[in-house]
Each structure stands twice: as C-alpha cells, then as structure tokens.
Chains A and B, each alone.
Chain A
Amino acid sequence: MLAMAELRQIALKMRRSGLRDIEIAGNHYRIRLRCDPADRAANPPAAPPPVAASPPADRMITAQRPGIIWFTHPLNDRVMTKPGDTVAAGELIALLGIGQLLLPVYSPQAGMLRRQCVANGSVVEYGTELIALSQGQ
C-alpha cells in the first residue's frame, strides 16, 4: 500500500507539473488522482517562488488522517493548547477524533503556536492545515 504521505507527494508533483489525471495500481489496490479543474495553480509553468530574506515562514502542522480536530478536550472543553503557547518538539498539541478514538497530534518541532487554521471541533481532511507553528528561536 502507498502511505498517505506518498500520495500527498504525488498530488503535489501533479499540481506542479500540470498533470491532470493519474492512475496507480498495485497488487491489491488502484488509486486515481484527478486535479480539481478549478485549480489554476495546476497550470504550468509555475513561476518559481520569490526568494526572500524574510524570517523563516511558519511551519504548518497538517492532519495526518481525516477526523475531527479538538484543541480543547471534548469532555469538558479543557484547553490543550492555544495560540501563543510555546511547545517542545513532540509535545501533544491537539486531539484528532476518529469515531470513538482520540488520537494525538504532536508538535513536530519546538516553536510557538501562531494560529489555529480551523475551528475547534471541525471536520478535517487528510492534509488539512491545523496549526501554524513559528520556527526557529
């Protein structure tokens, strides 16, 4: 099976190259990826991103599975993390609810939580940006 991370890589490459449709098959699976026709960014050639001497951009923490994102615990609304919190690498910053399960969302690195990109308790897809984490310092 392809890992979700690989699929995301493939989707990103399709988007950059302007490929609109791809089908991948293995022994026990078949996957078809199709670009959204409304996605203008999928038109090549994409201009190279401007090189800026600005401080490092925020790192986006994305959902690794589809589910419901909880920045507060659904039992009693206790806040897990909020914008402005400094977190260590590997620190638990949110919960992803899948059915009855609550799975951890860890911070990939140390930094400051700048902003929550989705509302607490909302449904997120694989790859949805959850939290902007400032890098460095």
Chain B
Amino acid sequence: MIVIEKTTPLSSVQDLGRAGGLHYGVGTAGAMDPLALQLGNALLGNAPNAAAIEIPLFPVQVRFTDDCCFAVTGHDGRVMLDDVMLPFWWSAQARKGQRLTLHASSRITRAYLHLPGGIDVPEVLGSRSTQLRGEFGGFQGRGLHSGDRLRAAAPQQGGPVGFGIMPPWSALGVANTPVPMIRVLPAAEYDIFTEVSCRAFWHQAWHITPQSNRYGYRLSGEPLIAKVPLEMRSHGIVPGVIQVPHNGQPIIQMRDAQPSGGYPKLGTVIDADMWLLGQIPVGSQVRFIQVSYQQAREAGRQQLAYLQNAIAQIACHRRYAG
C-alpha cells in the first residue's frame, strides 16, 4: 500500500479507458499516454490494461507502507527513492517506509506510477479510469489528495526489478524534434474552411495554451476562417477530433472530452499520435501533417507492432533474469 503525501488533485487513477459507452454519453477517460501505461505495466508483469496513477503536476510524493515493487514511466523528471535517483522508465523495489518523489520535466508532461497488479480500485462500467466530469471510477471518482491510501492489486506478484525500457520517445525517434509533428486526417467539415486557412493549419506551428488539459487542448495561432459560418446540431465526437469554434482557434478533444459537440471538425489526430500529443507540455508548440486513412491505419499497425515487441522483450527478461 502507498500513502499519498504530496500531490495536486490533477493526479488520477487511469487505465486504458472506458470503451463502449460513448453512445450513452459516457466518455472514454483513460491514460493520456497509453504507451507509457502499457510499458510500465509490462515492467511489473501486469496486464496491459492495469491501472496506474497519472501525474501531470509535480512534485508528487508517496510513502510505501509495506515492501513493494513499482515502476515509473511517462516523463523524464527526477525520480527519487529516498535520496537515490532512479533512471527514467524504470522498475524498482521499495522498502517499507521509503518515500518516492517525482519531479517535473520541462518537455514531457505526465508521469505514471505503477504498482504490482495495478492500482486496486473497483472497475466501474468496465474500467478503472477516473471519470472526473462524472465523478465515478478511479479512486472514489476523484483526483487524489494527500492522505489517500492506495493498494496494489497484486502486492506479492514479484519478479525481477531494477531494469527499464527504452522510452518510446527514443525508440520511435521523436525525442529530438524541436516542434513535435502530429499526424492528422482531414475530417467532415475540412472543406468549409478557406484554402488559406487550410494551408495555415498545416503550415504554422500552433501554440498549446494554458487552457489545455485532459478534456481538450486549446491551440492558438493564425485564426482558421470558414468560407461561410456553419451552425450544426451537436453530434458525436471522439478524442482526437479537432474542432474549430467561431474564433478560429482549434480545440483538440482529449481523453476526458465530452462525447458530443457542434463545432465544425477540421481534422482528427490519428490514434497512433495521441500519446505524443498528450505528453506535449502547455506553452510549447506543435505542428500537424496531413495523412491519408491508409497511412493512419499503417501508423497504428506499426505502433502496435512496436509495443508488442517491447512488451515481449520485457516479458522475456522477466522470465529469464536471475
């Protein structure tokens, strides 16, 4: 078990999300960086969908009330177990009474703290993710407070620790791009925007404003203008959809997005790039590249293959490490 000693309420328990409820108005929630979640779970031998604590603001400090192994993935801020610094994306053993402190990173937003078997919270509508708007799921349907006590689902799971995984930032070659490139499919209302605006969308670097969070990313840049103003009834939308309200400044729906909206949709971030977008810090910039449906599917396939390969290598190491 761990006791949260220091946190902001923006830390929350997340798994891969709540699928299948959008038509009832139940949003998906789930980890903003599903690659980090799954790789961290693999480090401990957890199921890929096991829940972890997603941490967007630092420092966060927890105390272990028993001997327990853990892993930290997601970001590249300092990770201290008492006064020993751990490598990034690493698994380790904590002893009873030890404190783990996670510090901020300047270029990656979110960290994940994984425990053996996942964080032990009840499944609600098929997921352990916190639905912050609906106040259900996760730990008591809310973000974490200091004093909260969270249990590992399989504290005795065991297996080797003290090793790590190459972060997808390095493995997928996105670590050193000064402005991250996010792949986007044109969406239903793409053609209502002027040619100049469409060009501006692809060619400018967009600023991620401080009004960006798990619900959505609000961007700022040269405004995008529709040929004729379009009013639409609210209709179903999913995470990744890029809406353009009348002020011409796009909003990208993220994991806690509401399931419907009425603004024109200019594009959709492809699934394979949602993890990357979810990790880009507020205040930095992002660019978009247009892809076709086939390229989006291919990117998804390649990412799945990469992830399965990395997870298989971890599983092999866990089986044979002495």
- New contact pairs (19) apart from A73-B76, A75-B88, CB-CB < 8 Å: A74-B170, A75-B170, A75-B175, A76-B76, A76-B175, A80-B87, A92-B87, A95-B87, A95-B164, A99-B309, A99-B313, A100-B309, A101-B166, A101-B314, A101-B317, A102-B89, A102-B90, A102-B163, A102-B164
| B278 CB within 8 Å of chain A | no
Complex CA gap A102/B165 in Å reads: 5
- A interface residues, Cβ below 8 angstroms from B: 73-76, 78, 80, 92, 95, 97-104
The smallest beta-carbon distance between B84 and chain A, in angstroms, is: 9
Complex CA gap A25/B214 in Å reads: 59
The smallest beta-carbon distance between B292 and chain A, in angstroms, is: 29
The 10 closest A-B pairs by CB, nearest first: A100-B310, A102-B164, A74-B170, A100-B166, A75-B167, A76-B76, A99-B313, A100-B313, A103-B163, A75-B76
The smallest beta-carbon distance between B5 and chain A, in angstroms, is: 25
Complex CA gap A102/B171 in Å reads: 12
Contact B76 A101 (CB under 8 A): no
Contact A100 B165 (CB under 8 A): yes
Complex CA gap A101/B87 in Å reads: 13
Residues in B with CB closer than 8 Å to A78 are: 76, 88
Residues in B with CB closer than 8 Å to A104 are: 87, 162-163
The smallest beta-carbon distance between B318 and chain A, in angstroms, is: 10
Q: Which residue of B lies closest to A106 (CB)?
A: B162
Given A100-B309, A100-B313, A102-B87, also A74-B162 (CB < 8 A): no
Encode contact with A along B134-147: 1 for CB under 8 Å, 0 otherwise: 00000000000000
Residues in B with CB closer than 8 Å to A103 are: 163, 317
Q: Which residue of A lies closest to B175 (CB)?
A: A75
Complex CA gap A76/B79 in Å reads: 14
The smallest beta-carbon distance between A44 and chain B, in angstroms, is: 36
Residues in A with CB closer than 8 Å to B76 are: 73, 75-76, 78
User: Which B67-102 residues have a C-beta within 8 angstroms of A?
Assistant: 76, 87-90
Contact B89 A75 (CB under 8 A): yes
Encode contact with A along B281-322: 1 for CB under 8 Å, 0 otherwise: 000000000000000000000000000011001100100000
Residues in B with CB closer than 8 Å to A98 are: 313
Residues in A with CB closer than 8 Å to B313 are: 98-101
Complex CA gap A95/B166 in Å reads: 11
Given A75-B175, A76-B76, also A102-B162 (CB < 8 A): no
Contact B166 A74 (CB under 8 A): yes
Q: Which residue of B lies closest to A104 (CB)?
A: B162
Residues in B with CB closer than 8 Å to A73 are: 76, 87-88
Contact A100 B171 (CB under 8 A): yes
| B169 CB within 8 Å of chain A | yes
Complex CA gap A103/B161 in Å reads: 10
18 contacts between A and B (CB under 8 A): A73-B87, A74-B166, A75-B175, A76-B76, A76-B88, A76-B175, A80-B87, A99-B309, A99-B313, A101-B163, A101-B164, A101-B166, A101-B313, A102-B87, A102-B90, A102-B163, A102-B164, A102-B165
